Structure 1
Amino acid sequence: MSYDTDHVRNAGRTPERITGIQAFTDLVDNAALAGLYTSIRNRETATGPELVDKAAVSKKTVYDYLHKLERAGLITEAGAENGAATYTAEDFEMTLTVRDVAVSITPALVEVLSRRDEYSVIDRILEEHGLLTFALAHDLVRAHNEGDITIRQIGDLTGLSSGMTYDLVDAIYAIRGFGEKPSSPETYTPDNVGSEQPDTDSTEE
């Protein structure tokens, strides 16, 4: 069976039933759920007991989350180890349209979102600026790591304050393991600052 429609493109096999759409959006809002998915994905395979040992939530919550992720097709049972089921994470991409702009939720974005309790700037940007701005900022930080953009430009393009921009760059560098972290924040000097207060420490990252 092969078909193409406006919303579904099939490579020749009967499509699987997609359930638990709420689980996808919960990955954005629930750091513990996002962290569980990310732990399985980073390990390639993981058992319930292994995840319970590392989780910051209760054993019951871990298994509730495993069932939720499995029902949504985000993880699948891959076998057993010492009598416990082993799970593997599925790659995915979910695209949402916000103000005529398509925003994709991917495992890479979920990995960063899973650390929002550790890096408060992530939560602040989501709460104050929304998912669209956060996703854009995330991608611009990756471009910064590749030498294609400055921290000043990230702030200009996203509308984030200089301090928030630097904090996010620092957080994503740590989470994604990007080379060396930026050593110091850029100093933004408003145009109306008088010459008696020169910005002698301004740097361009």
Structure 2
Amino acid sequence: MSRTSNRTDGDIVRDFLSVADLLEEPPLARLYAYFAREGEATVQDALTALDLAQGTAYTYVNRLVDAGVVEVADDEQPRHYAAREIDLTVTAADDRTYTITPSLVDAVGRRETDDDIDVYIDRHGVAGLATALSYAVARERGNVTHRLMAQDLDISPLAAELVLQALRPIVHEHYGIEDSGASIDALDVDDRDAADHA
């Protein structure tokens, strides 16, 4: 669902409204992200994986199909559905531009299950989350730190670290960035040796 110059204004507005629904309703975003990750899946697959009630799952899938962000991939029973690629750039009132991608929709979809993402959206909105996601990608590539993000965005280093950690799995799923280095927990260090060298 890329915004291109050969599309009519009506198509672009419809696309924007469809994506806006995803960004305002985390359960829809979560379901869209599931189809995007799986490639193709049935409603039964989705309701099992996401622990949805059957009626709710069918209602949500129908809404996503009607919105044009999910399509029927295989009409044989049971039907298989697939997410359509979203790549929509919007300009905010402050003239900053934001690109709405499947990774951003995935992050919004995790709002109900990740308190750090939920708090960040409450404080900074979805546009702020989009900015944090770009910092998360840069951090996983080794280009920025949480302190630089905190300084750039005028937030606390703790808030920056919390959202970057929450967004880390999304970055690795969507951007194909290899894990680099080891966490402190993964290091095999004898506490006595560390104390001797301190």
Q: TM-score, normalised by structure 2?
A: 0.77
The CA distance in 1 between the partners of 2:134 and 2:147, in whole Å, is 15
1:91 aligns with 2:85: yes
Please report how far the alpha carbon of residue 154 of structure 1 lies from its aligned counterpart in structure 2 after TM superposition.
0.7
Tell me the equivalent position of 2:36. 41
Tell me the equivalent position of 2:123. 128
Q: Considering Cα pairs closer than 8 Å and 6+ residues apart, tell me whether 1 or 2 has the greater RCO.
A: 2
Tell me the equivalent position of 1:148. 143
Deviations 1:125-149 (A, max 9, x none): 1111122222111101111111111
Please report how far the alpha carbon of residue 94 of structure 1 lies from its aligned counterpart in structure 2 after TM superposition.
2.2
The CA distance in 2 between the partners of 1:129 and 1:95, in whole Å, is 19
**How many positions carry a matched residue from both structures?**
175
Residue segments in structure 1 that go unaligned for 5+ positions in a row: 1-6, 185-205
The CA distance in 2 between the partners of 1:55 and 1:102, in whole Å, is 32
Tell me the equivalent position of 1:60. 55
The CA distance in 1 between the partners of 2:4 and 2:53, in whole Å, is 38
Tell me the equivalent position of 2:97. 102
Contact 2:89 2:97 in 1 (8 A): yes
The CA distance in 2 between the partners of 1:119 and 1:182, in whole Å, is 23
Opposite residue 22 of structure 2, the aligned amino acid is L
Residue segments in structure 2 that go unaligned for 5+ positions in a row: 185-198
Distance 1:181 1:46, change over 3 A: farther
Moved more, 24-33 or 149-158: 24-33
From 158, 167, 170, the counterpart of 1:175: 170
Please report how far the alpha carbon of residue 16 of structure 1 lies from its aligned counterpart in structure 2 after TM superposition.
9.8
From 157, 161, 167, the counterpart of 2:156: 161
Distance 1:20 1:64, change over 3 A: farther
Tell me the equivalent position of 1:78. 73
Contact 1:126 1:134 in 2 (8 A): yes
